[in-house]
Structure formats: C-alpha cells, structure tokens
C-alpha cells in the first residue's frame, strides 16, 4: 500500500450502509427503510429559536465547552429525567453531534493496544472510531435469545489484561433493544471487577416505548467510570444541526475538552441556542412526546405487518428500528437486501453492516411515512411469498 495514506485508516472498510443508499439513489419509486433519521422537520419552536439567534447576529464562536446556559439546561434535564447530577463546567461538554462526543471519549481514554468491548450488532461507527483512536475493537455478538442484550458472562469471557472499556448503546441502533435492569447490573459488575470505563451511547434515550430509560451512570458505583453520550439528532429531530453532548467524570471530560478545543473549537452556535429551547420550552417537550407517539404507531404497523408476512421481528422497545429475521427467504442478509431492492424497490440495510450477530437479519427504519410503510409491507409480502 502507498505510504501516502495512513495504513490504520485505510484498513477500515467503508460503511456498509452507503452502498444501499447509493443504489437506492439511482432508482425511481424506491421506498427507503434504510436511513436512520427522523422523518420530522425539527419542531417549529426550536427552529424559530435558531432563526432568532441568527437575526440577533449571534454568529461567533462560543465557549469551547458550549454556551453555559445550554450546559446548565443539559444537566438540569438529565437530573430531572434520570436523577443523576453533573457539574455544568467540569463534567459537561457540548459537541458536534453524539458522533463527536463518542470520538472524543475514545481519544481521551485509549492508549495503543487498549481493547474496547463492543456488543454487536451496533452503530456502524463504533469499530472504526476505536481504530482511529488507536485501540482494538473486540466485537461481541448479541443474540435474539437475550433480546440483543449483552450478558455479563459474554463480557467476562472477552476481558483481557488490555481491556480498557465497554461501549454500549441502549436503546440500540440497529436492533431497537433496550437494557433490562438485570443486564445493566451484570455489565456494571464486570466494569467494576476489571476497572473498566463504560461509554454509554444514550442518544435514543427519549425514544422508549415500554418503561423508562435508565442512564447507565445512575447505577451504583458507575457514575465516575461512565461517559454518557447524548444528543439532539434523534429525540428532537435535529440531525442536520449537528449537536450532541458528553457527561462524565471531570478528569476524563478535561481531556475530551482538550481534543475538542484543538480540533473543533466550539459546536455550531445557532444549533446551541436552538438546543436551549429544545430543553427548556414546554412546546418542545410536547413535540418530543407527539413524535414518539407517532413512531410508536408506526412501530406497531411495521412489526405486526412483518410478522403477518412471515418475517419474524423481535419486539423493538426503543429507537426507531425493526430488525426482522429474514432466514425464511433462504437468502443471506446481503442477498435479501439486494434482491428486495432490485425486485420490489424497497431499501433496507443488511444486518452484517452492523457487525457480528447481524447475519440473518436486516434493519428497517420506521421513521418513514405510514403509507410508505404500508406499501413496503405489500411489496415485501409479495417478495416473501415468491421466495419463501
């Protein structure tokens, strides 16, 4: 390989999701269940706050850590929702999406050779980001039998003297799994026993359809070994604003702030001002509630519809994804997704794009218009009857 390019970065394969978007983009009349973002426009009251900020001419950098009022609003909301307190100065950082927070967390803790345990299937960026930060990803397949939750025994079996952290994400992309308390306690026990850091990506925290979200840092003994990754993209339909945050112990957050300072300076100012409204205006809270209700109706439509056509879907309890088992088709996940888009023009993402444990499944996002989901079910029904 040429020396022009970093070997470490070149070795990371491109995202398996892109391939399907690229194919879908060249076709007419495709129903896409492939993209993982809300189909809502950001609620009016939040957009207006961004526009007002621009009208006032607030176009400069903010403090590196983010506007103080926003950091205060974040910690207040987190305390109110989940009963755990953070300091808005030392323990809070406003970032460019949850994506940046995740990257900073890994940059802040990884020394060469450190291993990060990653329950999979998982968000496509995790393994790549661990590699970029100089660490070694250690994937662990989760299974439908444990509702795609990682068990303490699985983690324990993967721990080595080089293990540094566990990277978890519940509610989960791509499975829709959430974490039951018994599994949380098992993860916490492994982290405590081996002195590991837990990076908990809770970007879908408000998108729970059964029960309340529990933040991982609220577990006994976990607060100072957990880095919380949070965001506005999913809960508030703000993907394009590029805003997220990190909460965690002051020593780790100080190092994350340093990387952020040198690489980013500060998160987008307009987005930060809008996010204050997202967290503090009751109309924004009403919007979160009604968007969730709408996802929930579409979740039922898709999951029940899939079951009716013979694609058993595990019951997703959070986020906005269904992860049906497609083995009845006799195809691999890749073949299923390719043939489905080719014959019926429905785009979904093959499970293996999300790592170990994904074979035999595909991800379908139900943040898609109801009539599109109905039409997709029609087409998939035909498809399964033809191939099943």
Ligand X SMILES: Cc1ncc(COP(=O)(O)O)c(C=O)c1O
In the complex, the residues that contact ligand X under the rule CB under 6 A are: 36, 97-99, 123, 169, 173, 201, 203, 231, 233, 239, 244
Is residue 377 a contact partner of residue 305, using CB atoms and an 8 Å limit? yes
Residue whose token pair is 């519809």: 305
State which residue, 125 or 372, has the beta carbon closest to ligand X: 125
- Report residue 273 as tokens: 């001002």
Closest CB to ligand X among residues 121, 305: 121
CA dist 236 and 260 (Å) reads: 24
The CA-CA-CA angle for residues 138, 202, 107, to 5°, reads 50
* DSSP summary character for residue 28: S
Q: Are 30 and 347 in contact (CB under 8 A)?
A: yes
The label of the residue with tokens 């509610």 reads 171
Neighbours of 252 (CB within 10 A): 21
Using CA atoms, how far residue 348 sits from 125, 191, 271, in Å, is 18, 35, 30
Bridge pairing between strands 163-169 and 197-201: parallel
State CA 144 to chain mean position distance: 19
Dig out the tokens for 195 from the structure: 């002195």
Q: Which two tokens stand for residue 269?
A: 């100012």
Give the end-to-end CA distance of the chain in Å, rounded to a whole number: 44
In the bound state with ligand X, the residue whose beta carbon lies nearer, of 354 and 383, is 354
User: Looking at 248-369, which runs of residues are DSSP E strands?
Assistant: 321-322, 346-347, 349-350, 362-365
The distance of closest approach from Cβ of residue 245 to ligand X in the complex, given in angstroms and rounded to an integer, is 9
- Positive or negative torsion for Cα 100, 105, 110, 116: negative
Helix, strand, coil share of the chain (percent; to 5): 45, 15, 40
């Amino acid at each position: 390989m040429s020396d022009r390019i970093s070997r470490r970065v070149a070795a990371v394969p491109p995202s398996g999701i892109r391939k399907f978007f690229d194919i879908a983009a060249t076709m007419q009349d495709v129903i896409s269940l492939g993209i993982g973002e809300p189909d809502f426009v950001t609620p009016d009251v939040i957009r207006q706050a961004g526009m007002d900020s621009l009208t006032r001419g607030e176009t400069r950098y903010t403090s590196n850590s983010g506007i103080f009022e926003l950091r205060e609003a974040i910690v207040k909301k987190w305390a109110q929702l989940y009963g755990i307190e953070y300091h808005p100065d030392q323990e809070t950082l406003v970032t460019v999406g949850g994506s940046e927070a995740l990257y900073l967390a890994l940059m802040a803790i990884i020394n060469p050779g450190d291993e990060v345990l990653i329950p999979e299937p998982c968000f496509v960026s995790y393994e790549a980001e661990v590699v970029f930060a100089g660490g070694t990803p250690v994937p662990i397949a989760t299974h439908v039998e444990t509702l795609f939750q990682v068990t303490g025994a699985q983690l324990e079996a993967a721990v080595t003297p080089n293990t540094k952290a566990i990277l978890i994400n519940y509610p989960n992309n791509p499975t829709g799994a959430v974490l039951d308390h018994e599994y949380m306690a098992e993860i916490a026990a492994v982290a405590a026993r081996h002195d590991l850091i837990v990076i908990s990506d809770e970007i879908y925290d408000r998108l729970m359809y059964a029960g309340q979200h529990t933040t991982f840092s609220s577990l006994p003994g976990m607060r100072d070994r957990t880095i919380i990754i949070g965001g506005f993209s999913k809960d508030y339909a703000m993907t394009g604003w590029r805003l997220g945050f990190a909460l965690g112990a002051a020593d780790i957050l100080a190092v994350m702030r340093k990387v952020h300072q040198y690489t980013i300076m500060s998160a987008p100012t307009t987005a930060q001002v809008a996010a204050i409204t997202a967290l503090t205006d009751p109309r924004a809270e009403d919007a979160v509630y009604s968007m969730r209700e709408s996802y929930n109706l579409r979740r039922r439509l898709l999951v029940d519809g899939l079951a009716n056509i013979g694609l058993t879907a595990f019951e997703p309890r959070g986020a906005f994804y269904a992860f049906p088992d497609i083995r009845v088709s006799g195809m691999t996940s890749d073949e299923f997704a390719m043939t489905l888009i080719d014959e019926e023009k429905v785009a979904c993402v093959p499970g293996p794009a999300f790592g170990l444990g994904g074979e035999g499944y595909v991800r379908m996002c139900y943040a898609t218009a109801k009539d599109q989901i109905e039409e997709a079910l029609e087409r998939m029904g035909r498809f399964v009857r033809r191939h099943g």
